[in-house]
């Protein structure tokens, strides 16, 4: 079976690594891939091929697919989904896994998501959606300025501003709606009350009819230890996150997942893919902060180390609408992923730094180093992005996985490498 995977970050390296473990895969192309994906092989010994096509270059992607006829295409990032890559491939009868453009709105429009949650009584923060700054400001005043102010559209993960006072809230509203800091993404906004609590990531695989709720995971969004510094794409994850027991997860299925799926059915939204809600565990129970319509990055790196089931079988079952037949199995072990980033990230940073020590780090068989921003230049592996590597380890406990992951991190070197030293620390508090 021939597969095309769209994307080139750490998530896609993890997806590629797991896809080629399937005995059924004879060929994997990744567009555009990265310096680590290019070193993977199928179980039949065929090298994974990185194709020089950007994940958002829909005309080139469809031309490639029409020529090479992949049996399945898998989409990693949010942008091609929101641009309608799934609709485009389906128009050409090419099998593809991921939500269509309408369904991808759960991520591409925060206003759409927030209104959907209101229509279907899904627990979320007290909130409002606004097209004009005056109404937005009076709602922010009702919340005493303690708000999360969110640009409607995709804004590279930067479109959420948190405020503690009415002044801060008004400046944030002006920044989005008047000064248009995020361009058109800020023409409409969502304002939520500021929620306190522990944040966890959920992943739900669905074919639009039935669903599978994954174990929990937790991301670390801020750049520095102790959740200080700017928001990033994610500096590390682990799974499982020990903040929800089985009974609480069952209750989340009933309060969040099932109303969401029934809501989709009632509104004619055909969601085939991963729904990834960001959840805040508050004193008043779990509340949805946002929905993403794809795998989390770096949640995927931790999840796929734990997944036992053949991922290609799962993707196919979704596309064929027979997910209900599948039994999804997870390893008992915990996984921890520590991101090594370029110095300066999420602000400006340099590229092209030589990376050394990865094979030494991977000499332990419970460790896998997933590449995100890397590239091979003249045979040497160098940095090529903000998040460079996701050093991931399995262990009998979170503590052991953590020790393994940091042991591996300490064997890898590149100039200016930045690592958070407290990934999974919240899970280890006794
Ligand atoms: P989002 O992209 O909507 O998940 O927001 C990015 C980050 O902002 C989240 O991961 C939270 O840490 C924070 N955040 C979002 N909404 C809220 C909220 N209502 N209260 C507190 N923090 C929030
Ligand atoms: N882990 C953060 C994200 O994928 O959006």
pLDDT at residue 155, as a whole number: 81
Alpha-carbon distance values, 63 to 31, 53, 57 (Å): 12, 10, 10
pLDDT at residue 85, as a whole number: 98
Tell me, in angstroms, the distance from the centre of ligand 1 to residue 324's CA: 32
Q: What is the mean pLDDT of residues 378-402?
A: 97
pLDDT at residue 430, as a whole number: 64
Q: Which residues contact 330 (CB under 8 A, 6 or more apart)?
A: 214, 215, 306, 307, 308
Q: How far apart are CA 86 and CA 420, in angstroms?
A: 36
Tell me, in angstroms, the distance from the centre of ligand 2 to residue 271's CA: 19
Q: What is the mean pLDDT of residues 307-319?
A: 98
Ligand 2 contact, 98 CB (< 6 A) = no
Tell me, in angstroms, the distance from the centre of ligand 2 to residue 236's CA: 10
For the CA of 390, the nearest ligand: 2
Q: Which atom of ligand 2 is nearest to the CA of 237?
A: 1
pLDDT at residue 139, as a whole number: 98
pLDDT at residue 42, as a whole number: 97
The pLDDT of residue 56 is above 70: yes
pLDDT at residue 158, as a whole number: 78
pLDDT at residue 5, as a whole number: 98
CA 148 from centroid of its chain's CA atoms = 20
Backbone angles phi, psi at 266, to 5 degrees: -65, -30
CB atoms within 10 A of CB 358: 20
Tell me, in angstroms, the distance from the centre of ligand 2 to residue 379's CA: 31
Q: Which atom of ligand 2 is nearest to the CA of 11?
A: 4
Largest alpha-carbon pair distance within the chain? 62
Q: What is the mean pLDDT of residues 342-349?
A: 96
Mutate to test the pocket of ligand 1, among 148, 163, 237 (most ligand atoms within 8 A of CB): 148
Residue pLDDT, tens place only, 251-286: 999 999 999 999 999 999 999 999 999 999 999 999
**235 contacts 222 by C-beta, under 8 angstroms:** yes
Ligand 1 contact, 289 CB (< 6 A) = yes
Mutate to test the pocket of ligand 1, among 147, 162, 293 (most ligand atoms within 8 A of CB): 162
Ligand 2 contact, 199 CB (< 6 A) = no
Tell me, in angstroms, the distance from the centre of ligand 2 to residue 11's CA: 10
The pLDDT of residue 426 is above 70: yes
Mutate to test the pocket of ligand 1, among 198, 290, 299 (most ligand atoms within 8 A of CB): 290
Q: What is the mean pLDDT of residues 408-413?
A: 98
pLDDT at residue 157, as a whole number: 72
Alpha carbon nearest to ligand 2 atom 4, residue:
296
Ligand 2 contact, 297 CB (< 6 A) = yes
Q: How far apart are CA 422 and CA 407, in angstroms?
A: 14
Percentage above 70 pLDDT, the chain:
100
Residue pLDDT, tens place only, 118-177: 999 999 999 999 999 999 999 999 999 999 999 999 887 778 999 999 999 999 999 999
Q: How far apart are CA 368 and CA 404, in angstroms?
A: 10
């Amino acid at each position: 079976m021939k597969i095309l995977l769209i994307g080139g970050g750490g998530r896609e390296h993890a997806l590629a690594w797991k896809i080629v473990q399937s005995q059924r895969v004879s060929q994997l192309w990744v567009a555009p891939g990265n310096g680590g994906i290019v070193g993977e092989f199928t179980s039949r010994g065929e090298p994974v091929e990185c194709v020089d096509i950007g994940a958002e270059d829909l005309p080139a992607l469809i031309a490639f697919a029409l020529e090479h006829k992949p049996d399945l295409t898998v989409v990693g990032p949010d942008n091609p989904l929101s641009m309608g890559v799934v609709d485009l491939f389906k128009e050409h009868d090419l099998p593809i896994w991921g939500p269509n453009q309408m369904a991808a709105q759960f991520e591409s429009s925060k206003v759409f998501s927030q209104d959907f949650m209101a229509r279907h009584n899904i627990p979320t923060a007290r909130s409002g959606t606004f097209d004009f700054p005056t109404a937005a400001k009076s709602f922010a005043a009702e919340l005493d300025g303690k708000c999360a102010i969110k640009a409607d559209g995709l804004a590279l993960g930067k479109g959420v501003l948190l405020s503690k006072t009415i002044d801060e809230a008004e400046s944030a509203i002006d920044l989005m709606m008047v000064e248009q800091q995020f361009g058109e993404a800020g023409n409409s906004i969502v304002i939520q009350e500021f929620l306190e609590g522990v944040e966890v990531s959920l992943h739900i695989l669905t074919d639009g009819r039935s669903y599978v709720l994954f174990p929990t995971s937790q991301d670390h969004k801020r750049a520095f230890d102790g959740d200080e510094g700017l928001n990033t794409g994610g500096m590390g994850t682990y799974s499982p996150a020990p903040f929800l027991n089985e009974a609480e997860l069952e209750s989340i299925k009933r309060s969040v997942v099932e109303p969401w799926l029934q809501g989709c059915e009632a509104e004619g939204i055909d969601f085939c893919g991963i729904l990834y809600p960001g959840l805040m565990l508050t004193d008043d129970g779990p509340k949805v902060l946002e929905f993403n319509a794809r795998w989390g990055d770096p949640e995927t790196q931790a999840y796929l180390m734990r997944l036992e089931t053949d991922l290609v079988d799962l993707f196919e079952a979704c596309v064929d609408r027979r997910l209900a037949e599948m039994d999804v199995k997870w390893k008992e072990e915990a996984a921890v992923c520590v991101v090594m980033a370029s110095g300066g990230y999420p602000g400006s940073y340099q590229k092209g730094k030589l990376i050394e020590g990865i094979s030494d780090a991977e000499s332990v068989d419970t460790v896998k180093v997933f590449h995100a921003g890397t590239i091979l230049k003249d045979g040497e592996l160098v940095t090529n992005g903000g998040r460079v590597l996701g050093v991931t380890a399995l262990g009998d406990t979170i503590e052991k996985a953590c020790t393994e992951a940091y042991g591996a991190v300490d064997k890898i070197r590149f100039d200016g490498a930045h690592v958070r030293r407290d990934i999974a620390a919240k899970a280890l508090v006794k």
